């Protein structure tokens, strides 16, 4: 099942791709909460890191641990920021990710003997089939992706050209709130950025060829301004430690789409209001105007008018009109709606009570009629053959037999031939019972008269 994030990513893809727009033009909030542990991945190319980011984005918000994940190949490639149809290139990236591993550490501060360490492959089996990219991930890795103990937001909009820029940006993410990093040893920084060749032994070369280039690209791609601070080795002019001060600024053409928040109402808009792709695209593109408050107002307005019968064709279309026009359900309207709801609830309760009472009466009547029919058949079976024949003849002349004959479309004298028909059998049993009761009453009256004459 696709998560809301994946469905919204598909909405963006279907809107952007036909116009030749890349994922780099998507809202910056197209992304997920990524575990801080994943910034420590090493021995993976820039394109390989992008593949892992996209795959984990598709996994992150699906709370269920699954055997495999599926995504449309076109959407997957768009999220990868590539239009290439070269299957060999994608296969190479997958194999690279399968060979790489992430260290997952669990430290028990109370009992060090319970510390756990493990290396888990970044991706399991993967293949393309019927237009879908299908991949598997180890269960431990899925749980780390879905429920990170510490995390940062990773935007898929940001696509880097340099692996140094990507690695440095990832490393800085967990310090965005503080706005400044701790002091990093230069040697550790070189290891992170895989710059341990002699070329970078001198800090000035490492700084000019790697750090400054990466900082410049990060600012260009994300709008994040980074100031690099240095600290000398005590008693030396040699740079021993580096830290970074972070200042986030919006890019001039930034789409301020509240993409994450929209996910919270996406399922409601899709399932309850059945919005189509173009309508979702309109909301995403105009999120400055179509904020959460306005969306909820339009939802409330539409629901109200559905209840009162004003929506005749399509709730989604009515909702979009309410959203565009900014229609609002006023407080007095809510009071009227509340009072109407009370009246309607009272009426429904009364109707329900009446229906239940009628059902009970009907059931009691049917039970009584069945008892009478059974009693009549019991009495009939005790009659002689001649008496039974007389009873059938008498029944065939009754008003009840006439109604049955008309319903069965047969001659009235032939009704007795359908005695196994449930309606005929029940009616005949009731007829015999009524004759037995009538005879009993007559006998009682005769007995009473005889007793009176003796007195």
**278 or 246, greater pLDDT:** 246
CATH number for the domain spanning 95: value is 1.10.10.10
The answer on 238 and 266 residing in a single domain is: no
The answer on 421 and 278 residing in a single domain is: no
Q: Which DSSP string corresponds to 336-360?
A: HHHHHHHHHHHHHHHHHHHHHHHHH
pLDDT for residue 217: 92
- Is residue 337 domain-resident? no
User: What is the distance between the alpha carbons of residues 78 and 72, in angstroms, rounded to a whole number?
Assistant: 10
The answer on 113 and 38 residing in a single domain is: yes
Tell me the pLDDT band of 231, cut-offs 50, 70 and 90: very high
Q: For strands 132-135 and 69-72, give the pairing.
A: antiparallel
- Is residue 81 domain-resident? yes
Contact predicate 168/193, CB 8 Å: yes
pLDDT for residue 232: 92
Give how many domains the chain has, as a whole number.
4
Tell me the pLDDT band of 183, cut-offs 50, 70 and 90: very high
| Residue at a domain's end among 128, 155, 182 | 155
Count of Cβ atoms closer than 10 Å to residue 80 Cβ = 21
The answer on 183 and 88 residing in a single domain is: no
- Is residue 370 domain-resident? yes
| Residue at a domain's end among 155, 174, 196 | 155
- Is residue 83 domain-resident? yes
Burial class of 65 by CB neighbour count within 10 A (0 to 12, 13 to 18, 19+): middle
The answer on 139 and 1 residing in a single domain is: yes
Lowest mean pLDDT across 3-7, 8-12, 208-212: 3-7
pLDDT more than 70, % of the chain: 78
Each residue's pLDDT tens digit, 74-84: 778 877 777 56
Q: For strands 116-121 and 151-155, give the pairing.
A: unpaired
pLDDT for residue 1: 45
**317 or 116, greater pLDDT:** 317
Q: Is the pLDDT of residue 36 over 80?
A: no
- Is residue 6 domain-resident? yes
Q: Is the pLDDT of residue 181 over 80?
A: yes
| Residue at a domain's end among 207, 222, 255 | 255
The answer on 437 and 393 residing in a single domain is: yes
The answer on 305 and 288 residing in a single domain is: yes
Q: Which DSSP string corresponds to 58-100?
A: HHHT--S--S-EEEEHHHHHHHTT-----HHHHHHHHHHHHH-
The answer on 433 and 319 residing in a single domain is: no
The answer on 28 and 135 residing in a single domain is: yes
Tell me the pLDDT band of 243, cut-offs 50, 70 and 90: very high
The answer on 148 and 2 residing in a single domain is: yes
| Domain encompassing residue 249 | 160-255
Contact predicate 23/78, CB 8 Å: yes
- Is residue 346 domain-resident? no
Task: At 309, give phi and psi (nearest 5°).
Answer: 85, 20
Q: Is the pLDDT of residue 258 over 70?
A: no
Contact predicate 37/59, CB 8 Å: no
The answer on 137 and 32 residing in a single domain is: yes
Tokens of 405: 């004959």
- Is residue 56 domain-resident? yes
CA angle (158, 257, 70) in 5-degree steps = 60
- Is residue 208 domain-resident? yes
Tokens of 318: 């009515």
The answer on 304 and 201 residing in a single domain is: no
């Amino acid at each position: 099942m696709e998560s809301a994030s994946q469905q919204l990513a598909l909405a963006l893809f279907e809107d952007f791709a036909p116009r030749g727009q890349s994922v780099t033009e998507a809202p910056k909030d197209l992304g997920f909460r990524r575990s801080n542990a994943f910034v420590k991945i090493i021995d993976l190319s820039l394109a390989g890191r992008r593949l892992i980011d996209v795959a984990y984005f598709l996994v992150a918000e699906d709370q269920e641990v699954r055997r495999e994940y599926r995504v449309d190949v076109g959407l997957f490639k768009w999220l990868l920021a590539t239009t290439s149809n070269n299957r060999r290139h994608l296969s190479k990236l997958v194999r690279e990710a399968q060979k790489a591993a992430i260290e997952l550490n669990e430290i028990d501060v109370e009992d060090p003997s319970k510390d756990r360490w493990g290396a888990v492959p970044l991706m399991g089996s993967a293949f393309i089939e019927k237009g879908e990219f299908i991949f598997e991930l180890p269960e431990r890795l899925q749980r780390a992706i879905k429920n990170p103990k510490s995390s940062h937001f990773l935007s898929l909009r940001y696509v880097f050209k340099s692996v140094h820029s990507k690695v440095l940006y990832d490393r800085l993410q967990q310090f965005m709130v503080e706005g400044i990093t701790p002091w990093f040893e230069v040697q550790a920084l070189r290891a992170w950025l895989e710059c341990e060749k002699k070329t970078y032994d001198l800090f000035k070369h490492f700084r000019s060829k790697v750090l400054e280039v990466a900082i410049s690209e990060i600012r260009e791609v994300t709008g994040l301004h980074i100031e690099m601070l240095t600290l000398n080795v005590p008693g030396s002019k040699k740079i021993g430690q580096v830290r970074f001060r972070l200042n986030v600024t919006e890019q001039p053409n930034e789409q301020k789409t509240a993409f994450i928040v929209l996910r919270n109402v996406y399922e409601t808009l899709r399932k309850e209001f059945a919005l189509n792709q173009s309508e979702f695209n309109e909301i995403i593109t105009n999120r400055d105007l179509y904020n959460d408050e306005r969306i909820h107002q339009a939802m409330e307005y539409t629901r109200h008018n559905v209840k009162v019968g004003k929506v005749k064709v399509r709730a989604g279309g009515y909702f979009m009109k309410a959203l565009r026009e900014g229609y609002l359900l006023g407080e007095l309207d809510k009071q009227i709606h509340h009072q109407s709801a009370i009246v309607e609830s009272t009426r429904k309760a009364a109707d329900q009570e009446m229906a239940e009472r009628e059902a009970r009466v009907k059931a009691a009547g049917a039970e009584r009629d069945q008892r009478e029919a059974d009693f009549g058949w019991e009495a009939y079976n005790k009659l002689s053959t001649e008496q039974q024949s007389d009873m059938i003849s008498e029944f065939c002349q009754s008003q009840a037999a006439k109604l049955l004959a008309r319903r069965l479309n047969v001659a009235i004298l032939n009704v007795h031939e359908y005695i196994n028909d449930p309606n005929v059998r029940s009616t005949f049993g009731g007829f015999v019972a009524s004759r037995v009761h009538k005879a009993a009453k007559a006998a009682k009256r005769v007995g009473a008269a005889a007793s009176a004459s003796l007195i």
